[in-house]
Structure 1
């Protein structure tokens, strides 16, 4: 089954780096699990609020510069947070990035705080 990004997801990609947008748009075409974009570009104020709420641990978020997106898995149109779904999403995102020759980091691969919905362009390649 082929999925497509909805209007809300496309709107949430506004301001996101074009390379990351390309990866997300290719990933939705090849993913085995439907997904929605929950966040792309964030304001400093939004990031500050997330840190204050404990939902983020840094003010150096790649979201602030448009170099990160958060995705949520959809099952029958409902957001699901089951970890195995995010491994499948990561597989599609990584495959799309490789196909497009765009480096990508997945928060689920981080050593400490694992963040399954989070994908970002690496600092080293996109300072």
Structure 2
């Protein structure tokens, strides 16, 4: 009976020791990974998949008689901060609620578009039916974007951002700020 209690005690202590060692190693590795992620440089352009899908969006829109122009893609943190100041401490209307580092544009994962008229003018008219399909061009482009895997800002509930498309690859802004990148979640 005494040897069974001793065995249980030794087994319990051994189990706790192994569990503690495992946790120590796991925490140490996690801290190392966090440090590596935090030191990753920010992107300097569109993610290659977003770039490819952007080009497909332009091409597929043209195929149905809608000429679009990409008005914005990658944005640096400084550019985002300047845009955020618009309508606040700088002239103009408010066009974003995201400060630098809070936009998918800052990580090369978002684009904005507008319609281009035959005379070259660029417009943001979400009701225009320039190709005569009976449906606004803007929403036809939105459908194409969603088919290509983009999330469309026009579907957002809190704030409608009709020109905006993004691919988050399952990453939140917080994760991107912590250094995670789409390559961390995309399996090749």
Q: What range describes the TM-score normalised by the shorter chain of this pair?
A: 0.7 to 0.9
Other-structure match for 2:123: 80
Pairwise mapping of residues 1-127 of structure 1 onto structure 2 (< 5 A)? Answer: 15-31=45-61, 32=64, 33-53=66-86, 54-59=94-99, 60-76=102-118, 77-83=120-126, 84-95=136-147, 97=148, 103-122=149-168, 124=170, 126=182
Other-structure match for 2:23: none
Gaps of 5+ in 1: 1-13, 98-102
Question: Between Structure 1 and Structure 2, how many residues are aligned?
Answer: 108
Q: Identify if the C-alpha distance between structure 1 residues 124 and 57 changes in structure 2 by more than 3 Å, giving closer, same or farther.
A: same
Greater fraction of residues in helix: 2
Distance 1:123 1:25 in 2: 18
Considering only CA atoms, is the larger Rg found in Structure 1 or Structure 2?
A: 2
Distance 1:41 1:89 in 2: 20
Q: How many Å apart are 1:85 and its aligned residue?
A: 2.9
- What is the RMSD of the two structures over their aligned residues, measured on CA atoms? 1.8
Greater fraction of residues in strand: 1
Paired residue secondary structure (2:161):
coil
TM-score by length of 2: 0.53
Paired residue secondary structure (1:72):
strand
Gaps of 5+ in 2: 1-43, 87-93, 127-135, 172-181
Q: How many Å apart are 1:123 and its aligned residue?
A: 5.3
Per-residue displacement from partner, 1:11-42 (whole Å, max 9, x unpaired)?
xxx81011111111112221131111111111
Q: How many Å apart are 1:94 and its aligned residue?
A: 2.2
Per-residue displacement from partner, 1:55-114 (whole Å, max 9, x unpaired)?
21012100111110111111212212111332121122223x1xxxxx320011111211
Distance 1:114 1:85 in 2: 17
